[in-house]
Structure 1
């Protein structure tokens, strides 16, 4: 009987996932992530049961190559998450040329992301965030896939698409969240062998009244991120063992939010006070997402429990 229940649960989960994918907007941006599965651990995207309305998978394509994957929310004009393989940058941060996803506006357009021109087509304006949304706002363009986590110049340039960006307070973007991004990069360079898979996303406000910039772009209350390092050193220092093969974090994007998810360090400097980041096990993050987003989500298949690299 337990085996039958397990099989039935698996069939139900597959049914919900197929139902979710089947009603997504169809276009070359993708009805699923089949063109860019390599950015997910074991080539399996996060298994979710999401209200499908408005969500669009995007295989982020630049210079005829796929660079990462994004699940985009059309109504919010922001991504729910971006997934990528982390690697060490071999150069400096490029001068940003901000781009948009043409196929969100025109289903038969080129699958390549396009740079914004001086005059933006109204179909583009209606389908996604544009640069004017961020001008004269109090928010920065917060990358979910940051350029410092990408190796080549083209990898890094591809992150400068507004479909990979959310409205993020400067105190978070250049403060504790930036510290976290550099910390994850150091762990990868020091302890990982092979790929580190990262999924970074957002949580909207829990209240029914969402926050917006320009009455168009949804402002997240929290940022979150998780990584999977399936092959890591066997001689990890004891202080690092809790961080492998997976770990996660949630960061505040609103200094006035409650402290039920991320406590506030009242001793922090005024410029970053209230933008704290809480580190946590992967399972804790998935539990928070299940409650806040009303979804069941598995970010890494099997919780990234595979082989690790043994070193002498």
Structure 2
């Protein structure tokens, strides 16, 4: 069942019309990013419809306790242009109930304490050993506005550079090549995190949770049937899990001992959607479904 339809309320205040929408706490305004308008099931958090330049761009399930997202979901489009230069942003509605929808750039000076308490801020990542790892990457989008929208800390998790600049970046590029060449209709992507089984790891003073693994899966129901042999298992769905801790065990993702030193221990394992969901169920303690009926049926 999909969430109930969002109700938009127009309020005349201070001489202007304000639009109060369910940007936070309800996926209804942005259900179009999900296959068959069906968000993943089995994960608990705060739904955020990520709005930038007066348009919904993607969706995030946010963990207030962890001050980081469980997943971001978006529609893939073949990338054009370079990584944009744009300020990092935050989500006001996580800090102020009833605040206007839409992400906002961080101010040049001190950040309001309500924002600091409710979500990650730029200071959390300064002088840390982690990069800001996009779940929804800027270079899986065509429009400049869609790329700029990904630069919000509600779409970011602490990611080791060996992963972010190495095997995980290679995975994102491989997805670009595969979907760009063979997907004939909408491609839905969901990228998320796997927490440590116990004893959460934190960035800073127990403010932002560090994931042990990252995962990603796509759904493309309509694709070119003339696939090369090596890609016949890549449609309609495909998935992957990447290591974010070089000291983790190898039961989920084995380590390639011949990898270059900066990237050793940050391997990525590709797999079926079913295998990914089994891993998530084992780690999270409950059944997880990423796409409606395993990405079956027309759009």
* TM-score normalised to structure 1 length: 0.87
1:180 correspondence with 2:174: no
Residue of structure 1 in register with 2:37 after alignment: 43
CA shift digits 1:45-82 (9 cap, x unpaired) = 1122x4x4xx2100000011000000000010000000
- Residue 307 of structure 1 and its aligned partner are, at CA, apart by 5.5
Residue of structure 2 in register with 1:112 after alignment: 102
Residue of structure 2 in register with 1:58 after alignment: 48
- Residue 176 of structure 1 and its aligned partner are, at CA, apart by 0.1
- Matches for 1:129-140 after TM superposition, within 5 Å: 129-140=120-131
CA contact (8 A) 1:28 1:103 kept: no
Residue of structure 1 in register with 2:249 after alignment: 258
Q: Secondary structure at the match of 1:120?
A: coil
CA distance in 2, matches of 1:306, 1:174: 36
Residue of structure 2 in register with 1:269 after alignment: 260
- Gaps of at least 5 residues in structure 2 are 4-20
Q: Secondary structure at the match of 2:51?
A: strand
Residue of structure 2 in register with 1:291 after alignment: 282
- Residue 89 of structure 1 and its aligned partner are, at CA, apart by 2.0
Q: Secondary structure at the match of 1:298?
A: coil
Residue of structure 2 in register with 1:226 after alignment: 217
Residue of structure 1 in register with 2:22 after alignment: 28
- Residue 28 of structure 1 and its aligned partner are, at CA, apart by 3.4
Residue of structure 1 in register with 2:162 after alignment: 171
CA contact (8 A) 1:29 1:104 kept: no
CA contact (8 A) 2:24 2:93 kept: no
Q: Secondary structure at the match of 2:124?
A: helix
Q: CA RMSD in A?
A: 1.5
CA distance in 2, matches of 1:123, 1:29: 18
CA distance in 1, matches of 2:102, 2:74: 18
CA contact (8 A) 1:223 1:253 kept: yes
* TM-score normalised to structure 2 length: 0.91
- Gaps of at least 5 residues in structure 1 are 1-13, 19-26
Q: Secondary structure at the match of 1:266?
A: coil
